[in-house]
Amino acid sequence: MKKIEFTVLVLITFIIAAGAQQADNNSTCVVCHRDQDPPLSTPVEQLKTSIHNNPKLSCAGCHGGDPTAEDADMAMSKAKGFIGKPSPEQIPKLCSKCHSSAAFMRTFNPNVPVDQYQLYLASEHGILLKKGDKKVATCVSCHDVHDIKKANDPTSPVFPSNIADRCGKCHADADYMKGYSIPTDQLSEYKKSIHAKTLYDKGDLSAPTCNDCHGNHGAMPPGIASVANVCGACHLVQSEYFSASPHKEAFDNMGVSECEACHGNHAIQKTSDQMIGTDEQAVCTQCHDEGSQGYKTAALMRDGIDSLATEISLAEAMISKAHLAGVEIQDKALNLSKSKDALIQSRALIHTLSMDKVGGKIKQGLKAAINALEIGRQALKEVGHRRNMLIIMVVLTLLVAGFLVLYIRVRERNND
Amino acid sequence: MDKLKKLSNWFEVRIDLSGVKKFSDKKVVPVHQQHFWYAIGGITLFLFITQIVTGILLLLYYRPAADSAYESVQFIMTSVRFGWLIRSIHSWGANLMIFFLFVHMFSTFFMKAYRKPREMTWISGAILLILALAFGFSGYLLPWNKLAFFATKVGTEMAAVVPGVGKHILIFLRGGEDVTGATLTRFFGFHVALLPMTTFFVLLIHLVLIQAQGMSVPPTLEKEYKKNPKTMKFFPDFILRDAVGWLAVLGLLGVLAALFPWELGEKADRFASAPMGIKPEWYFVFLFQTLKYIPGRIFSLNGEALAIFAIGLGVLFWVSVPFFDRRAQKNLPSKAFTLIGIVLIIYIIVLTTISYFFSS
């Protein structure tokens, strides 16, 4: 009985699957287009690997017409709603037919967002499109047309490591961007940045790319007032320190773009201690003149950071020397990591501009580093102690061996 | 001296040791150009004793569980007085013991000491070498560090290629599908109970046979020795000379332990990626390198399985050498077997060198 039930179940599944496949392969659009030369046959090929390759969807969903009509003219008749290749201004609306419908999208994935169209309308791209600019990006500019992939598919143009190049397709093309009066070096600048190095070299997909700062469907350049919020989405602590610091008001009053003023934007580099202080590379001297309070605080902060970093490297060298000599001190080297943590925290605290806070953390770090240094010193002392023990042991062993050899000789002589 | 005599008499009255005394008075060791090699076995035995002593001391603090093994070894090395020395001597001693075992094996092989009536001595010695390698393999995992974890993973995986029973052997060795805390506990059991007990009995047989049959004189020197038999008393002359060798090895162990303490490395993390250039212990490296050269498939058969089968046959041949070397059994020169030994030594040295210096 069970066998029969199972056979019936297999048959039903097979029939449903075959039927679904048939519906797709037998649509008039596919039947005609697959036998054409490219580019007319290309969509059929591209659809095979597309997320839209689903029996619930058909070509008519975007292009209109009647895919069940056997006659090509009938299938592509305007009376049946055929629109051919949608124009740029039609595309967002067309995509939103499904993608803005929570009820429809839920049938594929209940978690998929349905606000892309609304966001797009509010984006720079959407605003310009509404004004009649047909060059601006629409859905297909980023997601491709027929060969649409999921965003988490590494071959998708909107996969994190592909996004910058996709945006750059337009934004790095000086000819295409003529008339928009915005720079076209963002892509090349971004590729020099620490964010790009983290994304491409380390393969860290959480590293920011264009859409993480500018938004994706609602893409806009962040305004001066909101830059700190954009950076603060990841650099939370620094952003909080900055917002509570005197710099916040001063920058706002001067109309200076917060984080960007010191760190830059697209070509942002890995921060270094040289950025703080009064050296040539220091960013503080861009605003603070010699003799001013800000200038003095910057110099003090740099001195503190430098002294902690030096003490840590001394302790590290000492501990590593002891480790190489074979003394196991991993569990006792906790102080070293404490001092390193304090150095990282004091670097972040620079954004508060409070010498009290930075100085306090540096003091904590110095205390831990000095402890670590002492542990290193003790460990090296232990190395010396072990060597001395070794000499005593070897001498004793040799003495006993020497006595034995003498005793053997004496026995040999007596035996002779 | 009188007190010593009194004590000896006290024992003699209660236990009849006259047989032992007679045996030790009578027992002699041949003296010839190559009698130096006789000391190597004694050195190996001495190193085995240091392993037992240091092993028992380590057992006082070692904890055989995945979440505490590494920490307990760390504690031994940092907080236990002379713990670092004991652990280093145990690790260096293990390696020296296997080195001297190889030297002892090849010296007896080239001196054809496996000839009648010493076939059983050779076989028990070969079994002892296999047991020592098993000691090394199981002990390597016990500190539960990254290198040992991945080396054990690779090592136990080899068992899986044995057709039919491979998977069962793998699960038996690992205590499951993967190298986990269960493997550690299991290896600990092998290392401190199963292997020592087995070794004790095989070693006892080996030593009793040596004492009963005496040392073998190499066939090349036998004629001369028979003409002019020169001997020394086993007790105390030979033992005293052995003791000098033991002291020298003890000094060497001390130097190695103090100058190059055995590193602990990073704690094992089964989710971490395997470190680059992972290798087994040096005494397995020539086999590991051999397997690297074996193609995936040989005549539509699994290459690795075939290679492991061939290695198994090789080991069996080596253990059974006394029965294959007919010429040596008749006291005739057996150059072919000497050549086999030389080729094997060259093979081990060359492949080990390639693996350490010329292989990625």
For residue B106, pLDDT over 90 is answered with: yes
A232 domain residue, yes or no: no
Partners of B267 in the beta sheet? B145
Whether the CB of B259 is below 8 Å from some CB of chain A: the reply is yes
The DSSP output letter for A133 is -
CA–CA separation, B14 and A255 (whole Å): 107
Q: What is the mean pLDDT of residues A89-99?
A: 93
A206 domain residue, yes or no: no
Q: What is the mean pLDDT of chain A?
A: 88
Range among A333-342, B108-117, B263-272 rated most confident: B108-117
A-chain residues within 8 Å CB-CB of B259?
326, 390
| CATH classification of the domain holding A305 | 1.20.140
Strand runs (DSSP E) across chain B, as ranges? 28-30, 231-233, 297-298, 301-302
The verdict on A91 and A74 lying in the same domain is no
**By residue range, what is the domain housing residue A13?**
1-85
CB pairs < 8 Å spanning A and B = 60
Residue pair A339/A351 in contact (Cβ under 8 Å)? The answer is: no
Inter-chain CB proximity B264 and A328 less than 8 Å: yes
- Scan residues 303-342 of A and list those with Cβ closer than 8 Å to B: 326-332
For residue A7, pLDDT over 60 is answered with: no
Q: Where are the alpha helices (DSSP H) in B111-194?
A: 119-141, 146-159, 166-174, 181-189
A23 domain residue, yes or no: yes
Rounded to whole angstroms, the maximal C-alpha distance in chain B is 79
For residue A18, pLDDT over 80 is answered with: no
CA–CA separation, B116 and B329 (whole Å): 6
**Segment A309-334, tens digit of pLDDT:** 999 999 988 888 887 776 777 666 77
Inter-chain CB proximity A408 and B84 less than 8 Å: no
pLDDT-derived band at A3, boundaries 50, 70, 90: low
Cβ of B168: how many Cβ atoms within 10 Å?
Answer: 12
- The letter for the amino acid at A249 is E
Report percent pLDDT > 70 for chain A. 92
Between B300 and A162, the more confident residue is A162
Supply the ipTM of this predicted assembly.
0.75
pLDDT-derived band at B360, boundaries 50, 70, 90: low
B-chain residues within 8 Å CB-CB of A387?
258
pLDDT-derived band at B348, boundaries 50, 70, 90: very high
**Segment A256-281, tens digit of pLDDT:** 888 988 999 999 999 999 999 999 88
- The letter for the amino acid at B300 is S
CA–CA separation, B249 and B55 (whole Å): 18
The verdict on A59 and A97 lying in the same domain is no
The verdict on A75 and A113 lying in the same domain is no
Among A52, A85, A118, the domain boundary falls at: A85
Residue A16 has a pLDDT of 41
Exposure b/e, B82-108, CB count within 10 A at least 16 = b: ebbbbbbbbbbbbbbbbebbbebbbbb
Q: What is the mean pLDDT of residues B13-17?
A: 87
The verdict on A72 and A154 lying in the same domain is no
CA–CA separation, A88 and A136 (whole Å): 8
The verdict on A70 and A100 lying in the same domain is no
For residue B138, pLDDT over 80 is answered with: yes
Q: Tell me the three state secondary structure of residue B297.
A: strand
Report percent pLDDT > 90 for chain B. 60
SS3 content of chain A, % helix, strand, coil (to 5): 65, 0, 35
The verdict on A81 and A92 lying in the same domain is no
Residue A11 has a pLDDT of 45
Q: What is the mean pLDDT of residues A225-233?
A: 81
**Segment A124-154, tens digit of pLDDT:** 999 999 999 999 999 999 999 999 999 899 9
A160 domain residue, yes or no: yes
B-chain residues within 8 Å CB-CB of A332?
78
Residue A5 has a pLDDT of 57
Q: What is the mean pLDDT of residues B280-303?
A: 88
Between B331 and B63, the more confident residue is B63
Please report where in the chains the tokens 């023990």 appear, as a residue: A389
A-chain residues within 8 Å CB-CB of B236?
411
Among A148, A182, A216, the domain boundary falls at: A182
Among A156, A182, A208, the domain boundary falls at: A182
Residue A1 has a pLDDT of 42
For residue B36, pLDDT over 60 is answered with: yes
Q: What is the mean pLDDT of residues A199-211?
A: 94
Question: Which residue of chain A comes nearest to B88, CA vs CA?
Answer: A326
Q: What is the mean pLDDT of chain B?
A: 91
Residue B208 has a pLDDT of 95
Q: What is the mean pLDDT of residues A233-246?
A: 93
Between B9 and A308, the more confident residue is A308
The verdict on A345 and A381 lying in the same domain is yes
Q: What is the mean pLDDT of residues A82-87?
A: 90
The verdict on A19 and A60 lying in the same domain is yes
B-chain residues within 8 Å CB-CB of A406?
none
A259 domain residue, yes or no: no
Question: Which of A389, A397, A405 has the CB atom closest to B251's CB atom?
Answer: A397
- Scan residues 369-408 of A and list those with Cβ closer than 8 Å to B: 386-387, 389-390, 393-394, 397-398, 400-401, 404-405, 407-408
Report percent pLDDT > 90 for chain A. 57
A81 domain residue, yes or no: yes
Q: How many domains does one find in chain A?
A: 3
Q: What is the mean pLDDT of residues B338-352?
A: 96
**Segment A323-367, tens digit of pLDDT:** 777 677 766 677 889 999 999 999 999 999 999 999 999 999 999
The verdict on A301 and A382 lying in the same domain is yes
Domains defined for chain B, CATH in brackets:
29-219+233-268 (1.20.810.10)
